Chain A
Amino acid sequence: MTTSSEDVLLQVPQVRYKKGDGTLFLMDQRLIWMVENRDTVAVSHSYADIKSQKISPEGKVKVQLQVVLHNGVSSTFHFTNRNGLQAQLADRDKVKEMLQTLLPKFKRKVDRELEEKNKLLSSNPALLQLYKDLVMTEVVTSEEFWVQHASQYTQKQKQQPQDIGVSGAFLADIKPQTDGCNGLKYNITPDIIECIFKTYPAVKKKYVENVPTKLSESQFWTKFFQSHYFHRDRKYAESKDLFTECGKIDDQEMKRDIQTGVDDPLVNITEFEDKTLDEGYGVANEKTNVTSGTVSQAMIKRFNQHSIMVLKATKKQENSEAEAKNVPKQNGNVSEEKPDDGHVAKKQRIQSKITYEDLDSPSASSSGGPSLSLSKVERYLHGPMPDSNVEQLNPNEASSVLRGVLQETRQWQSRHPSTSLVTPAAAVGALGELSPGGALMRGFQEQSLAQLVPADIENEVRNLYLALCELLSHFWKCFPPSTPTMEQKAVKMHEALHRYHTAKLKPFEDKLIRELSPLSHHLTKHLNQLLNAAYQKFSNWQKIKNR
Chain B
Amino acid sequence: MVDEEEQKEYRWETGYEKTWEAIKEDDDGFLEASVADIIQRAKRKRQAQKQGNSKLGMMRHLYVILDCSDSMSSQDLKPTRLLCTVKIMENFIEEFFDQNPISQMGIIIMHNKRAEKISDLAGNARKHIKAINNLKQTSLIGEPSLQNSLEMALRALKLLPSHASREILVVMGSLTTCDPGDINTTILNLKSEGVRCSVIGLAAEVHVCRRLANETGGLYNVILDDCHFKDLLYQQVDPPPAALTLESNLIKMGFPHQMSVEGTEEPLTMCMCHVDSTDEGSKLNTGGYYCPQCYSKYCELPVECRACGLTLVSAPHLARSYHHLFPAANYDEITYENQTVICFACQKNFSETDKQVYRCPNCTKIFCINCDIFVHDILHTCPGCATNLSTFQIAHNTTQ
Contact = CB atoms under 8 A, between A and B. Distances in A.
A165 interface: yes
A525 B267 contact: yes
A522 B267 contact: yes
A191 B270 CA distance: 47
A530 B296 contact: yes
B241 A368 contact: yes
A246 interface: no
Contacts of B286: 443, 446-447, 450
A446 B268 contact: yes
Contacts of B185: 318
A461 interface: yes
B400 A162 contact: no
Interface stretch (A36-44, A414-422, A471-479): A471-479
B390 interface: no
Contacts of B143: 167
B306 A469 contact: yes
Interface in B234-285: 241-244, 260, 265-270, 272, 275-276, 278, 281-285
Interface in A149-167: 162-167
A465 B265 contact: no
Given A368-B241, A372-B54, A450 B285 contact: yes
Contacts of B269: 525-526
A309 to B, nearest CB: 15
Contacts of B285: 446-447, 450
A469 B308 CA distance: 9
Contact of B181 (A125, A317, A462): A317
Nearest to B149: A162
Contacts of A367: 54
Nearest to B147: A165
Interface stretch (A4-12, A214-222, A374-382): A374-382
B75 interface: no
A191 B397 CA distance: 63
Residue among B181, B242, B275, B297 facing the most chain A CB atoms (10 A cut-off)? B275
B309 A466 contact: no
Contacts of A167: 113, 143, 176, 178
A453 B53 CA distance: 56
Nearest to B260: A442
A533 B54 contact: no
B275 A380 contact: no
B55 interface: yes
A460 to B, nearest CB: 11
B182 A469 contact: no
B282 A465 contact: yes
A400 to B, nearest CB: 24
Contacts of A165: 113, 145, 147, 177-181
Interface in B347-400: 393, 396-397, 400
Given A162-B114, A366-B49, A372-B53, A526 B275 contact: no
Interface string A341-378: 00000000000000000000000001111111010011
B325 interface: yes
Contacts of A126: 276, 278
A368 B180 CA distance: 35
B204 interface: no
B308 A465 contact: no
- The majority secondary structure among interface residues of chain A is helix
Given A164-B114, A449-B268, A371 B275 contact: no
Interface string A317-348: 11000000000000000000000000000000
Contacts of B181: 163, 165, 314, 317-318
A465 B272 contact: yes
Contacts of A503: none
Contacts of A475: 307
A120 interface: no
A405 to B, nearest CB: 20
A298 interface: no
A526 B295 contact: yes
Nearest to B392: A381
Nearest to B246: A370
Given A381-B396, A446-B286, A522-B267, A371 B55 contact: yes
B307 A469 contact: yes
Nearest to B274: A462
Contact of B294 (A374, A381, A472): A472
B270 A526 contact: yes
A466 B276 contact: yes
Contacts of A317: 180-181
Nearest to B308: A476
A370 B325 CA distance: 13
A446 B265 CA distance: 8
A523 interface: yes
Interface in A431-452: 442-443, 445-447, 449-450
B307 A374 contact: no
A126 B306 CA distance: 15
Contacts of A473: 306-309
Contacts of A523: 268, 284
A450 B282 contact: no
B113 A164 contact: yes
Contacts of A125: 278
B266 A370 contact: no
B48 to A, nearest CB: 11
Contacts of A525: 267, 269
A443 B266 contact: yes
A465 B276 CA distance: 9
A411 to B, nearest CB: 30
Contacts of B282: 462, 465
A530 B266 contact: no
A378 B54 CA distance: 17
B115 interface: yes
Contacts of A530: 294-296, 307
11 contacts: A314-B179, A369-B54, A369-B55, A371-B55, A377-B397, A380-B326, A443-B286, A450-B285, A461-B270, A461-B284, A519-B268
Given A369-B55, A372-B55, A445-B265, 19 more contacts: A165-B113, A165-B179, A368-B49, A368-B51, A370-B244, A371-B53, A371-B55, A372-B325, A443-B266, A450-B284, A461-B270, A462-B270, A473-B307, A476-B307, A523-B268, A525-B267, A526-B267, A526-B295, A534-B294
Nearest 4 A/B pairs, CB to CB: A369-B241, A163-B180, A476-B308, A472-B307
